[in-house]
Structure 1
Amino acid sequence: MAFSSGGNKGPMAEINVTPLIDVMLVLLIIFIVTAPIMTYPIDVALPQRVINPPPVLKEPPPPIDLRVDPTNQVFWNNGPVAESQLQQLMEAEVQKDPTNQPELRIDASSDSEYEVMARVLAAAKNADMKKINFVQQQ
């Protein structure tokens, strides 16, 4: 607290403006530095009006249920299938409509061998299947 040096011995009733001036000088310097940056144009890609409406989405095909049981037998939509035929079946499904592929739902038993599951996933990858999900039946 500052005291006056005159005849009055009480505290000064004046505001100390030095910190206010310091803050204003800092803000002025920041404004001077950033103002030229704001004058450069920035390219913004705005969406354009589409004359043709988007195509109507087709209903997705029914999903494919692929199950691997504890004896490592593979089932395609509840029908047994050999592992060697899996990739051919998957390729046939992909070739029907490559843009609207069916979802492949894989349900592998916890007691099945990892190698069987690896071969199933390799067949799906080689057949270029895009929608692969893992499910577990209760």
Structure 2
Amino acid sequence: MAFSARVSSPAISTINVTPLVDVLLVLLIIFMITAPVITHKIRTDLPQPGRTTATDNVDPIRLSIQADGSMTWNDALITDAQLGAQLSLAASRSQQPELRIDAADGAQYQAVAHVLSQAKSQGMARIDFVGH
């Protein structure tokens, strides 16, 4: 058996981009699927320039959310059912107090989001977060 060597064949000098395009299309599909899941839309009421707020003598409400999910309303332990009633009473006042939410470092996002949704649904307009 004799093998013949092709001396005159030119070397392939082009890059095969097909695998690169396949990988990029897979990454594009992954980002298109995960991007709507990552973004959360929350309506925030930012202060407007030139608006003055009247200072009132209503004491703010301190609502603490612990890491285990328990809540305290002005340092008194409160359940989820009592929270809705207390928020309803606070929202119906003539001068609505400010709700200051203090979430612990290990508090679950779902618990904080649930408190926010309850406060908004009861009509609380002044909600702030307190940091440590």
What TM-score, normalized to structure 1?
Answer: 0.53
Match of 2:115 in 1: 120
CA offset digits 1:76-133 (Å, max 9, x no partner): 0011100122121011012121xx2100000001201111111100110111000000
Which 4+ residue blocks in structure 1 deviate beyond 3 angstroms? none
SS of the residue corresponding to residue 130 of structure 1 reads coil
Match of 1:91 in 2: 88
Q: Check whether the contact 1:104–1:132 (CA below 8 A) recurs between aligned residues.
A: yes
Aligned pairs for 1:18-57 (under 5 A) are: none
RMSD, aligned α-carbons: 1.4
> Within 1, Cα distance between the matches of 2:108 and 2:55?
37
Counterpart among 101, 104, 113 of residue 109 in structure 1? 104
Match of 2:58 in 1: 61
SS of the residue corresponding to residue 60 of structure 1 reads coil
> Within 2, Cα distance between the matches of 1:77 and 1:93?
13
User: Identity of aligned pairs, percent?
Assistant: 32
Count residues with an aligned counterpart: 79
Match of 2:71 in 1: 74
Q: Check whether the contact 1:65–1:105 (CA below 8 A) recurs between aligned residues.
A: yes
> Within 2, Cα distance between the matches of 1:77 and 1:91?
16
* Structure 1 residues not aligned, in runs of 5+: 1-56
Q: Check whether the contact 1:60–1:101 (CA below 8 A) recurs between aligned residues.
A: no
For the structure 1 residues 95 and 135, does the alpha-carbon distance in structure 2 shift closer, same or farther, using more than 3 Å as the test?
Answer: same
> Within 1, Cα distance between the matches of 2:109 and 2:57?
30
What TM-score, normalized to structure 2?
Answer: 0.56
**Equivalent AA in structure 2 for residue 116 of structure 1:** A
Following TM superposition, by how much is the alpha carbon of 1:58 offset from its aligned partner in structure 2, in angstroms?
A: 7.2
